Amino acid sequence: MQHPDASFSLAVGVTGGIGSGKSQVCRYFADSGATTISADLIARNLLDTHLPLKQKVRKAFGDASYRPDGTLDRKQMAKLIFQDPTRRETLEGLVHPETLIAIANEIGRIRRDAPVPVIAVEAALIFEARAEEMFDYVIVVDAPEEERVARIIERDTVSRMDVLERMGAQMSVEEKLRKADFVIKNSTGLAALEQNTKFLYTLLVRISQTTNAGDESPE
């Protein structure tokens, strides 16, 4: 019999440098049967709706950090934080704790109400936020730097300098790779990325099944 709080669902963090292909990997996980969570979407929602957090952001960055409709002025905020590491650290210090609480609550809800073998959480700053302990495994998606730069320029319509500033604001890819439990290479096209992701998903499902078999006890 499985324990009522059972860790039936493996929680895996999916991270990597900006433009590495984290979102695509999570889409392939979802296609395979995983439930996916986006830390970025959670953080965005909190910044727009969580009153105590909004008050802290206004206090730190001024009322102009929000639009008249009450949503964060993300374009203005991006300029501020990527040009000033101290401001970036201030914002992350406000947002990360609330985001991690929300992610942990969502993982708990899924495990309780709609258990699946794998919960994949896409989060760019798992290691920077020292959040790796909340996951059973952390996957790092890796891609060549020039490919990452080209993807972000096309996706966000920004300059190469802007992309390099964003990259410089994150932990180095090399360090993330050293900390990873699994690495997915994204350098040979979408077909190979899909194949590699689904292979890893199958492995994670087997681990989940083995874990739960160990939790079973005779009635």
**Beta strand spans in 5-162 (E):** 10-16, 35-38, 118-122, 137-142
Per residue of the chain (219 residues), give pLDDT as tens.
233 344 479 999 999 999 999 999 999 999 999 999 999 999 999 999 999 999 999 999 999 999 999 999 998 898 888 778 899 899 999 999 999 999 999 999 999 998 899 999 999 999 999 999 999 999 999 999 999 999 999 988 888 988 888 888 789 999 999 999 999 999 999 999 999 999 999 999 999 988 776 655 444
pLDDT score, position 53 = 98
Q: What is the pLDDT of residue 81?
A: 85
Q: For position 82, what pLDDT does the model report?
A: 76
- Provide the pLDDT for residue 215: 57
What pLDDT, on a 0 to 100 scale, did the predictor assign at position 213?
A: 65
- Letter for the amino acid at 42? I
95-98, long-range: CB within 8 Å, 24+ apart, which pairs?
Answer: 95/43, 95/46, 95/47, 95/53, 96/125, 96/129, 96/131, 98/43, 98/46, 98/50, 98/53
Q: What is the pLDDT of residue 170?
A: 84
Q: From the CA atom positions of the chain, what is the Rg in Å?
A: 19
Query: What's the CATH code, domain 10-209?
Result: 3.40.50.300
What's the confidence (pLDDT) of residue 5? 41
**CA separation, residue 150 to residues 24, 35, 121 (Å):** 16, 29, 25
Provide the token pair at 45: 């929602």
